[in-house]
């Protein structure tokens, strides 16, 4: 898996253990919402065992990455279309590393957590993706 940083990996793994057996949508949204600590602190109370009430979340003062993660999680859960491909491809909005994090969430949404983990090839340098 490609995480934003070590904190993201630890937080996501902890949360996915608590919410095991969830849908691909739930898991992908959880992956995105745990990518930023500030975002997670603002939306954590909206996350139930098998459901995320994203409509109750009103996060504020987010970085570009955190905003994209929240908007994409909302798009995944509700079917809205807030984030467009041009946003994801804009280096001013997402660094290459953060683009890979978002791509990982899309793999989870499409294929599930286990398949996404197998699809993503781990870099030789200990699992760290260097900035391009």
Residue 127 lies in a domain: no
The span from the CA of 86 to the CA of 84, in Å, is 5
Number of domains in the chain: 1
Residue 17 lies in a domain: yes
Residue 34 lies in a domain: yes
Residue 29 lies in a domain: yes
Residue 10 lies in a domain: yes
Instruction: Give the model confidence (pLDDT) of 55-113 as tens digits.
Output: 999 999 999 999 999 999 999 999 999 999 888 888 988 999 999 999 999 999 999 99
Judge whether residue 124 has pLDDT over 70: no
Per the structure, the complete domain to which residue 85 belongs is given by: 6-119
pTM: 0.88
The span from the CA of 26 to the CA of 128, in Å, is 25
The span from the CA of 96 to the CA of 43, in Å, is 25
């Amino acid at each position: 898996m490609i995480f934003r940083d070590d904190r993201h990996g630890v937080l996501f793994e902890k949360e996915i253990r608590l919410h095991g057996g969830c849908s691909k949508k739930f898991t992908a949204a959880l992956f995105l919402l745990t990518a930023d600590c500030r975002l997670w602190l603002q939306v954590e109370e909206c996350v139930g065992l098998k459901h995320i009430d994203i409509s109750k979340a009103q996060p504020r003062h987010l970085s570009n990455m955190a905003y994209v993660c929240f908007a994409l999680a909302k798009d995944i859960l509700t079917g809205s279309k807030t984030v467009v491909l041009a946003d994801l491809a804009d280096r001013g909005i997402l660094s290459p590393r953060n683009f890979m994090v978002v791509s990982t969430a899309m793999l989870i949404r499409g294929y599930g957590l286990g398949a996404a983990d197998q699809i993503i090839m781990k870099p030789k340098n200990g699992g760290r993706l260097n900035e391009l």
